[in-house]
Amino acid sequence: MSNNNTSNNNLTTITTSPFYNYWANAGFIPNMVAMYGGLFILSLTGFCLNILFVYLTKKSKSLHGRCNLLLAFNSLTITPLQLFSGVKFFVLFSGTNFIRLKTCYYFAFLPLIGAGLATSAQLCVGVDRLISVLFPFWYRDSDFYISTTILFIFCFVRCFVVNCYYFYGVSLHPDK
């Protein structure tokens, strides 16, 4: 099997591939900067709307239910991912098309935590809605604070485990 890798590990970044060499040395690419600039503006809009949603959930007493709190938590935790989506735009705008894997991980650390918490919150919203439909009397009479606390603890534990796997995956690859 023909391979352009510079190391024995098949998962490492290919430094001699024609694709990498072409784009790494291309410098400033206006089309990509425009595309990622548009995505960054869209992400900033989502960031502002999510912060507004969290604020309205906090201020409105009618939105203090278990599901609404989980949805607000989801909106709050996805905001780092939206805010830091501009990193790609600024890296491309500088003319640097590729950055080192560990540098990328450091830029993505907070967004990865936010995304992990957000996907956990989405799972908890789904479980919460399923329980409310399958067991409506128990759901209505259950302790709001205990069940919400258990769901939040699940979110944080799952996020911690997932991010440990991310860090382990990054540490397996040499930084070239």
More confident residue, 20 or 67: 67
Question: Is the whole-model pTM more than 0.75?
Answer: no
Q: For residue 136, with 0-12 CB atoms within 10 Å meaning exposed, 13-18 middle and 19 or more buried, which class applies?
A: exposed
* Least confident window among 4-8, 53-57, 103-107, 111-115: 4-8
For 18-172, CATH number?
1.20.1070.10
Pair 73, 106: CB distance under 8 Å: no
Residue 65's contacts (CB-CB under 8 Å, 6 or more residues apart) are: none
Q: Using one digit for the tens of pLDDT, what is the confidence trace for 92-128?
A: 888 787 787 778 888 888 888 888 899 999 999 999 9
Run of H or E including 161:
helix 144-172
Q: How far apart are CA 33 and CA 91, in angstroms?
A: 9
Pair 89, 36: CB distance under 8 Å: yes
Q: How confident is the model at residue 153 (pLDDT cuts 50, 70, 90)?
A: very high
Q: How confident is the model at residue 53 (pLDDT cuts 50, 70, 90)?
A: very high
Q: How far apart are CA 167 and CA 29, in angstroms?
A: 31
Sole residue written with tokens 């600039």: 37
DSSP assigned state of 98: -
Mean pLDDT, range 135-155, rounded to an integer: 86
For the chain, give every domain's residue range. Answer: 18-172
Q: According to the model, what pLDDT value does residue 15 have?
A: 59
